[in-house]
A and B are shown apart, each in its own frame.
Chain A
Amino acid sequence: MTDTLSFNQEISNLLYAAEGEPLQTCIQCGTCSGTCPVAPFMDYSPRQIIALINAGNKEAVLESNTFWYCASCYHCTVRCPQEINITELMYALKRYSIWKSQHQEGLIGPTFSEAFVKMIVRGGRSFEPILAPSYIFSFNLRELLTEVTGATELLLKGRLPILPARIKRLENFKRMIGRIIPMGGLE
């Protein structure tokens, strides 16, 4: 019983308790990475990420783009011969990296998700989990499509020219969230 948790333990704790087998049961067979549709774009394949976690190589893991590239298609999870919930692992890593605010430079994912969640926390509804198409039908398409990333920045600056829908009992809703995370936490 050591009082300082290993990286592996830290991540395992972030994994939802009911989710599959612990990481150290990984047999490094590569099914996940062979399956993953995004693997070719990742710095490390999912299998390598698990290896790095088990090896305690925190820096390499947090600096990688792997988990930000996870499309959460769950294909690895259903195929894993050790029944490790790899997708949940990727979520856990995202949370960890946001929590420690440590991630690869120039990744859109982290900033985007924070902004996204803030928005919903404010409005109760998103105007679109995928940004672009929301105003496709009302705005010049070409311009938008060439500037999807630009659009993101717009959002981040909060200058997007459409209003997100809001729920009626917004005040309750906010207090409800307040019971989970102090509003300051994300504002």
Chain B
Amino acid sequence: MKEYAYFPGCSLEKMAVSYHQSTLETTKKLGIKLKELEDWNCCGATTYFYIDELLAYTLCARNLAIAEKTGLDVVAPCSACYKNMFFTAAHLKTDADLAEHVNFALEEDNLQYNGGVNVKHLIEVFAHDLTPEEIKSKVTHPLEGVRVAPYYGCQIVRPQKGKEDVEQPQFFEGILEAIGATPVNYPLKMRCCGGSLIISSRTAALTMVRNLLKSAVDSQAQVIATACPMCQVNLEVYQQQVNLEFGTDFNFPVMYFTQLIGLAFGIPPKKLGIGKEFVAVLPSLVPAGKK
């Protein structure tokens, strides 16, 4: 049975609690054990790096150090957390000087990081650690004919090179196919949603949301699937804002990929946190045309 250390990250505590729930439900079904890190702290999102790089690395390192004690790979469902932890781990491996500083600070919490942790994004667990067959085997209600727009966003594959095709990856599609859905190919699946700008540069962010939604709509998708709380909120919650700003009339459902998987596994929507959305999702999940 697969087991991972689990770093939910701040958003999943409240805002994206449905992502949290659906993650636990689906992984449970697949016989994957997620061990939440004890007393984890915020990864710092992007903002720490604005202020003090070393501090930012230290915060991530604290979580890594805690994870290291479990001896497991650590999984983060949030792309921002994932990216921060991934690169902190990478740098701490190669840069002894940085590691020394960081460990000096960690002493205060009786922690030490020795560079032994593997950081994974939740979606990598589904895409790489599990075979499509393993996922298929649990599907009871395949999402036949449902056109889903897989939204990668930024930090799942960027800036790592070599690991995946950073411009046109296919693993998200793979997961959707495994649960019977029809992934649509739309040009902006790799584009940024502007999440981190929504406060500081609202117009820019809203424009980016607009472009993304349009691209998804143009591709006759019925729902967008995301693997990041930032993206979900940004794409969904701000639709009204976009409509106000640009006179559009978007009312487009945005779900976590784990919720879709959960539905395909026949897990009751409530358990997957479905129902808290701005745009009701269930109605849209009927095969295209049958609406």
Give the B-binding residues of A (Cβ under 8 A). 14, 16-18, 37-38, 41, 65, 68-69, 71-75, 77-78, 85, 87, 91, 94-95, 98, 107-110, 112-114, 116-117, 120, 124-134, 136-137, 141, 145, 148-149, 152, 165, 167-169, 172-173, 175-181, 186
Contact = CB atoms under 8 A, between A and B. Distances in A.
A127 B42 CA distance: 9
Interface stretch (B53-61, B117-125, B178-186): B53-61
Nearest to B233: A133
Contact of A94 (B50, B101, B198, B202): B50
Contacts of A41: 201, 203-204, 207
Contacts of A68: 200-201
Contacts of B276: 137
B32 interface: no
A173 B40 CA distance: 11
Given A38-B197, A117-B55, 5 more contacts: A77-B158, A112-B200, A116-B45, A116-B47, A127-B10
15 contacts: A18-B91, A41-B201, A68-B201, A73-B192, A74-B155, A77-B159, A85-B159, A107-B200, A108-B200, A117-B55, A126-B10, A130-B199, A168-B39, A177-B58, A181-B52
A116 B241 CA distance: 23
Interface residues of B, number: 70
A187 to B, nearest CB: 13
A41 B202 CA distance: 11
B199 A112 contact: yes
Interface of B: 10-11, 13-15, 39-42, 44-55, 58-59, 62, 80, 91, 94-95, 101, 104-110, 154-155, 158-159, 161, 166-167, 190-192, 194-205, 207-208, 211, 230, 233-234, 237-238, 240-241, 276, 278
Contacts of A167: 39-41
Contacts of A114: 51
A107 to B, nearest CB: 7
Contacts of A130: 11, 15, 195-196, 198-199, 230, 233-234
Contact of A113 (B51, B110, B158, B237): B51
Nearest to A65: B201
Given A37-B191, A173-B41, A132 B50 contact: no
A134 B49 contact: no
A149 B53 contact: no
A73 B158 contact: yes
